[in-house]
Amino acid sequence: MSEVDGARRRIYGRRRGRPLRQGRQRLTETLLPQLCVPLPEAGVLDPETLFPQAVEQVWLEIGFGAGEHLAAQAELHPRIGFIGCEVFENGIARLLSEIDQAALPNIRIHPDDARQLLDALPPQSLGRVFILFPDPWPKLRHHKRRLVATATLDRLAKLMPPGAELRLATDDCDYLVWMLAHLTAHPAFAWMARRAWDWRRRPDDWPPTRYEEKALAAGRQPAFLRFQRR
């Protein structure tokens, strides 16, 4: 592994949890290869060609966890093509189960570092991007591993046309301050909140996740941020 690859792998944690159930293991062997995004060795990837039917837009979720938000969005928006990035194998397997049971044709998966995919996409190709409850990397020496950073925002700014929306969520107060500091300082993004209620309450079209439920059960109030590409 090169020095660059090694540095890139520091933004996320473990890849594997408990052994997969037999059915989910089967899906990772049979369904996942059909849904994986084929990254080109050279040139750019046209994400609209990944789906069996024409799509109106392509939306991306970086770090989809167990996939419940991604699956719910795909069911709510059948004319949108969705790409989900996740490295945790158990979360990928859960999403595959959702896709299989609900017969969702409009989801594709990149089971590796999201930055590989971002580097392959053409400019202004993403209509919406979700970064929900990313690892806060709370220790000061680990802050450089945080996904929400200037380099990531610069990449997304190139990939999102004016009017596209970036949605973020966190239940970590320090990471919330970090997110707001980076995003409000970035010239490409405008905060859509008009009052405090706008970011303290999850919007109606924003399906809940188990991370939100865990936060609320532990007495932590999640924040829901919406930024628009200028």
Q: Residue 9 — very low, low, confident or very high, per pLDDT cuts 50/70/90?
A: very low
Task: Provide the pLDDT for residue 15.
Answer: 61
pLDDT digits (tens, 9 = 90+) for 108-130: 999 999 999 999 999 999 999 99
Token readout for 174 is 């320090």
The domain that holds 85 is classified in CATH as 3.40.50.150
8 Å CB contact between 117 and 153? no
Instruction: Give me the phi and psi of 226, to 5 degrees please.
Output: -125, 125
pLDDT digits (tens, 9 = 90+) for 11-66: 555 566 577 788 889 999 999 999 999 999 988 999 999 999 999 999 999 999 99
Range of the domain at 141: 3-229
Q: Is the pTM of this model over 0.85?
A: yes
Indicate the burial class of 203 (C-beta count within 10 angstroms; 0-12, 13-18, 19 or more). exposed
Task: Provide the pLDDT for residue 13.
Answer: 54
Residues forming the active site: 135
Task: Provide the pLDDT for residue 19.
Answer: 76
Cα separations in angstroms, 72 against 20, 96, 158, 200, 205: 23, 13, 27, 21, 10
Task: Provide the pLDDT for residue 157.
Answer: 99
Domain count, the chain: 1
Q: Is 72 helix (H, G, I), strand (E, B) or coil?
A: helix
**Mean of the per-residue pLDDT values of the chain:** 92
Strands (DSSP E) found in 37-154: 57-62, 80-85, 107-110, 128-132
